Each structure stands twice: as C-alpha cells, then as structure tokens.
C-alpha cells in the first residue's frame, strides 16, 4: 500500500504504557472485529456514522462511541487506554511511541478534494500546491 493510500484509509490507535508498549503494539486492533466491546473514539459525526454502519452490518457491538474535535486529544485518549481511535491516518502522529497504529482496510478510503471560487485567479503558490497534491494523489483527482 502506498503512503498516499495509507493516508486516505482509516487507522486505529491503541494506547499503551512504556512497560507494555511492545505487547500492545502487537495486540492493537487489526480488523473491525477487534472493536467488539471497545470504546471507539472518533473525530466527527461522519466517521461515527461510517464506522457504526459497518460494524452493525458485521454484527460488531462496541461498548460505545465518543466524539472529539481535537485530533491530539483523541490520540492522547487512545494512548491513555481510554478507547480505540478510528480516525483518518493523516491525523495520527505515527511516531508516537505510546500508540500502535493499524490500517483498517475494511473501511472505505477518505477522499479529499480542493475547491475554490470559480471566478478567482489562483496564485503561483496555490497552483504549485495543487499540482503537487495532484501528483502525490495520482488517480484520485478528477
């Protein structure tokens, strides 16, 4: 899976302490079934609806859902063992030693778009950003 593809997919973060970091890195949620009876942490209602619908369809019953607006807070809660975060990978600090990060390929990728007012001229910097984003995202741009 490419880095760009990984960035679009949902990921889980499962927290650990320094003493059990290695064990929890291996024990983190590997599939949606691992969310059964877990508290699920999400960052928006769309994510909750997406995850909840998929889990219900698969007969998986989390202990509950908690929604937060701050991605750093969600990661800190996962690190403290308060639940499993199901968030877009691009919101996760994958270098955080307190959490294990697992891709969840069972969920559809998140699609990001750029938009601007059709009558506005885009400056060189903005155009360069859009060109780079289109190149990195490959076939995603339409």
Residue 30: band (very low, low, confident or very high) from pLDDT cuts 50, 70, 90: low
Instruction: Look at strands 10-15 and 84-88 and give their pairing.
Output: antiparallel
* Whole-number Å distance between alpha carbons of 21 and 49: 30
Segment 74-124, tens digit of pLDDT: 999 999 999 999 888 888 898 999 998 888 877 777 777 788 899 999 999
Residue 13: band (very low, low, confident or very high) from pLDDT cuts 50, 70, 90: low
pTM of the model: 0.66
Q: In the chain, what are the domain boundaries?
A: 3-103, 112-142
Residue with tokens 């190149």: 135
Q: Is 86 helix (H, G, I), strand (E, B) or coil?
A: strand
Instruction: Look at strands 39-42 and 84-88 and give their pairing.
Output: parallel
In CATH, 3-103 is 3.30.1490.190: no
């Amino acid at each position: 899976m490419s880095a760009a593809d990984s960035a679009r997919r949902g990921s889980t973060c499962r927290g650990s302490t320094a003493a059990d970091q290695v064990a929890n890195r291996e024990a983190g949620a590997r599939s949606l079934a691992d969310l059964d009876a877990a508290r699920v942490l999400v960052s928006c209602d769309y994510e909750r609806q997406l995850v909840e619908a998929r889990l219900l369809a698969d007969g998986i019953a989390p202990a509950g859902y908690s929604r937060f607006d701050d991605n750093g807070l969600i990661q800190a809660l996962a690190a403290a063992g308060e639940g499993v975060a199901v968030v877009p990978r691009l919101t996760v600090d994958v270098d955080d030693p307190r959490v294990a990060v697992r891709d969840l390929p069972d969920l559809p990728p998140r699609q990001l778009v750029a938009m601007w007012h059709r009558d506005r001229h885009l400056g060189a910097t903005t155009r360069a950003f859009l060109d780079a984003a289109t190149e990195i995202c490959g076939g995603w741009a339409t």
